[in-house]
Amino acid sequence: MAEIRVEALRKNFGDFTAVKNSDFTVADGEFFVMLGPSGCGKTTTLRMIAGLELPTSGRIFLGGEDVTFNRASHRDIAFVFQLFALYPHMNVRRNMAFPLVCQGMPRQEIRTRVEETARLLRIDHILDRPVSGLAGGDRQRVALGRAIVRRPKAFMMDEPLGTLDSEFRDLMVRELRELHNSIGATTVYVTHDQVEAMAMADKIAVMNHGVIEQFGHPQEIYDRPATMFVADFIGSPPMNFLDVEDGHAVGDARVRLGGAEVAIPELREEVGAGAMVVGMRPEHVRFDDASALRGEVIGAEYLGTTQIVTVTAGTALLKARVAADVPVREGETVGLTFDTARLSLFDGASGKALA
């Protein structure tokens, strides 16, 4: 098992920079998720770590060893691809045994290793079945089995659940996490799905246009997003943003939002050239008749235990997540308050969070 450290990692394709100076460390045994929209550079970063793509500049360390120029086959990393590249003419047992046969491991040891791994993945009852007849979830487990049977230093997983339908996906998310808990191997997992990322990760890197906008624990990223991009990308519905309507100075603890004075955490640094933007998660918006900030209810989406209510706030629209039994009527005027301690403040021009 191994720590993965990346220093000033960069990748250009001609004039285009796909990954711009990434720095991060994944501790030994951590489940690390690279999250971001299509084309942000996740796969390219993963491929550089695995040795399938040479960086334009920067360094990659695996277990403290500089592997930047080592061939993929010399890095002891296993891949789990989206398409379950299994050998269709072989049964489950032979598919799983294949990497060990290639290593020249003795037959009896292979047998023991494959059976142990199959029990871990709960596929020991299908070991002698052909892979061609297996359902999606089982095929994915076999693909995982083939990756973990070798006990590599680290795993690379590129959208491995991408082709599964949502029901199977939820199940596999839980199984992958359980599997990780039991084998504890350092894992790099690429996805554009924030729910998947939040459910599985020890650490997340949120990427945008080749840049890591934030690296941290899932809860830290949710509670204290470093940029408006991160705040918007994580959470469903995403964070609400309201522009502050008047000037603001260091020490201010109240601003005008939606035509009313609202308490904010005290500003400890100057806002740059841009206006200030206040962000609030839908679950931190509350209805309160006494509040001076008024809004009109535009609609509500019922979700069982909660509902997402869309309200106006000045010229903006806000989403509030409130209990399903809070009575709301379309067209009615409501007072809105926010949980001051949970508000996020951003510089509107740079999009960066203000401390």
Q: Give the residues lining the site for ligand ATP (CB under 6 A).
A: 13, 18, 36, 38-44, 192
Query: Is 39 or 58 the residue whose CB approaches ligand ATP more closely?
Result: 39
Query: Is 37 or 247 the residue whose CB approaches ligand ATP more closely?
Result: 37
CA dist., res. 332 & res. 97, Å (int): 65
Note whether 349 and 294 are within 8 A (CB): no
Query: Is 82 or 307 the residue whose CB approaches ligand ATP more closely?
Result: 82
CB atoms within 10 A of CB 10: 16
Output the smallest distance, CB 334 to ligand ATP, in A. 40
CA dist., res. 127 & res. 93, Å (int): 5
CA dist., res. 98 & res. 1, Å (int): 21
Output the smallest distance, CB 229 to ligand ATP, in A. 14
Query: Is 207 or 345 the residue whose CB approaches ligand ATP more closely?
Result: 207
Output the smallest distance, CB 35 to ligand ATP, in A. 9
Q: What are phi and psi of 223, to 5 degrees?
A: -80, -35
Nearest residue to ligand ATP, by Cβ distance, number only: 43
Output the smallest distance, CB 55 to ligand ATP, in A. 13
Residue whose C-alpha is closest to residue 317's, from 285, 346, 342: 285
CB atoms within 10 A of CB 99: 17
Beta bridge partners of 323: 306
Token pair of 60, please?
């990659």
Residues found in the chain? 355
Q: What are phi and psi of 196, to 5 degrees?
A: -60, -45
Query: Is 13 or 302 the residue whose CB approaches ligand ATP more closely?
Result: 13
* H-type alpha helices, the chain: 42-50, 92-103, 107-120, 136-148, 166-183, 194-200, 218-223, 228-233
Q: What are phi and psi of 336, to 5 degrees?
A: -120, 135
Output the smallest distance, CB 48 to ligand ATP, in A. 10
Output the smallest distance, CB 70 to ligand ATP, in A. 20
Output the smallest distance, CB 45 to ligand ATP, in A. 7
Sequence letter at residue 97: A
Query: Is 45 or 117 the residue whose CB approaches ligand ATP more closely?
Result: 45
Query: Is 138 or 158 the residue whose CB approaches ligand ATP more closely?
Result: 158
What Cα–Cα distance (Å) separates residue 172 from each residue in 83, 99, 175, 191?
15, 23, 5, 14
Token pair of 243, please?
């522009």
Query: Is 30 or 53 the residue whose CB approaches ligand ATP more closely?
Result: 53
The rounded Cα 226 to chain-centroid distance in angstroms is 15
Output the smallest distance, CB 52 to ligand ATP, in A. 11
Query: Is 36 or 279 the residue whose CB approaches ligand ATP more closely?
Result: 36
CA dist., res. 222 & res. 219, Å (int): 5
Output the smallest distance, CB 319 to ligand ATP, in A. 27
